[in-house]
Amino acid sequence: MARERLMERDQRYTTGRRRIVEALTSTGAPVTLPALLQLAPELSQSSAYRNLAIMEEAGVVRRLVHGAEHAHYELAEDLTEHHHHLICEDCGLITDVTLDASLERSLDRAFEGLADESGFSPRHHAIDIFGRCASCA
């Protein structure tokens, strides 16, 4: 899947890129760049950044920005499934959650309604739930 997405954009699925995708697949949760380099120490920082940017563009990777610190990276939703994020305000840990399908449907309906009122056309949404994770509680 990742390979196809890249090929469509005339991008190669190189070893470095495969390593990144494998690392993101193996850890279920979004990771920072330093964390990614720990998972795959043979990657060089600049190439990792460059390849993440290319794969983000190609729809393989998603970049999350939350505080001022490092951004987090995860596989794009088409390669996984639609989900949201629990963010621990103490330690910065980010984990995934999925909401009930009917609730998602209600949200989408509400968002569509905005188009009429304001002229804004929604494409996708992201919900961040801030709080305390189990280990920081």
- For residues 77 and 62, the answer to whether their CB atoms sit within 8 Å is yes
Considering beta carbons, is residue 19 or 104 the nearer one to DNA?
19
Q: What would the x/- binding string for a second copy be over residues 53 to 82, using CB under 8 A?
A: ------------xxxx--x-----------
CA distances from 129 to 28, 42, 82 (A): 18, 34, 15
Which of DNA, a second copy, none sits in contact with 26, Cβ below 5 to 8 A by type?
none
Instruction: Provide CB contacts within 8 A for 2, sequence distance 6+.
Output: 13, 17, 18, 21, 55, 60, 75, 79
Give me the amino acid identity at 7.
M
Instruction: Provide CB contacts within 8 A for 38, sequence distance 6+.
Output: none
Judged by CB under 7 A, the chain residues 4 through 33 that form the site for DNA are 11-12, 14-17, 32-33
38 binds DNA (CB under 7 A): no
Which of DNA, a second copy, none sits in contact with 126, Cβ below 5 to 8 A by type?
a second copy
Q: What would the x/- binding string for DNA be over residues 48 to 67, using CB under 7 A?
A: -xxx-x--------------
